[in-house]
Amino acid sequence: MAHAQQLSTFYLDGLHFGIEVEKVQEIIRYQPTTRVPLASSVVEGLINLRGQIVTAIDLRARLQMPPRAGEALPTNVIVRVDDGAVSLLVDEIGDVVEVDEGTFEPSPDTVGGITRELVCGVYKLRDRLLLVLDTERAIQGVGESATGH
């Protein structure tokens, strides 16, 4: 049962998140985005990744966290999806962590709202908790903003 898995980790509003390392294509530093009017506020904009147009999603906004404070610039975590790639904007990049299946537990019932929807579960690391992000869900439902003009 002691099947080890590697997670690429990052921080958001003080929380420690992880994504399966195979899903992460690359990590690049922040670059200016082209805004997409009419899109939901979760969509930060578009970036040019070596000729490929990639949608950047503000994970803080997606997880309904308060906006990033101060001058700090987010980092792009580029994840592979069916039709190319999507960038997830995170506060800071952490290490690649090897986790033990045995330490995994689904989110407790007390975790509610959007977090419950987008987090598949938690790895109990020695010193803290590592939240596993469901990337497919995080990327889904990021369509047009509900508010028209």
Task: Please enumerate in sequence order all residues whose Cβ is within 8 A of that of 50, keeping only pairs 6 or more positions apart, or say none.
Answer: none
3-class DSSP state of 11: strand
The residue type at 38:
L
149 near another protein, judged by CB under 8 A: yes
* Single-letter code of the amino acid located at 50: R
Per CB under 8 A, does 67 bind another protein?
no
Applying CB under 8 A, does 54 fall inside the site for another protein?
A: yes
- H-type alpha helices, 29-140: 59-62, 113-118, 135-139
Write the single-letter amino acid at 123: Y
Residues 86 to 145 in contact with another protein, rule: CB under 8 A: 86, 139-140, 142-144
Residue 32 engages another protein in binding (rule: CB under 8 A)? yes
Q: Which is nearer to another protein, 96 or 114 (CB)?
A: 114
Closer residue to another protein, CB minimum distance, 7 or 138? 138
Contact between 61 and another protein per CB under 8 A: no
Retrieve residue 33's tokens: 């985005």
End-to-end CA distance of the chain: 54
Q: Tokens for 104? A: 């995994």
Q: Does 26 bind another protein (CB under 8 A)?
A: no
**47 near another protein, judged by CB under 8 A:** yes
Candidates 15, 28, 46, 97; binder of another protein (CB under 8 A) is 46
Burial class of 12 by CB neighbour count within 10 A (0 to 12, 13 to 18, 19+): buried
Toward another protein, which CB reaches closer, 14 or 32?
32
Where along the sequence are the contacts to another protein (CB under 8 A)? 32-39, 43, 45-48, 50-55, 57, 81-84, 86, 139-140, 142-144, 149
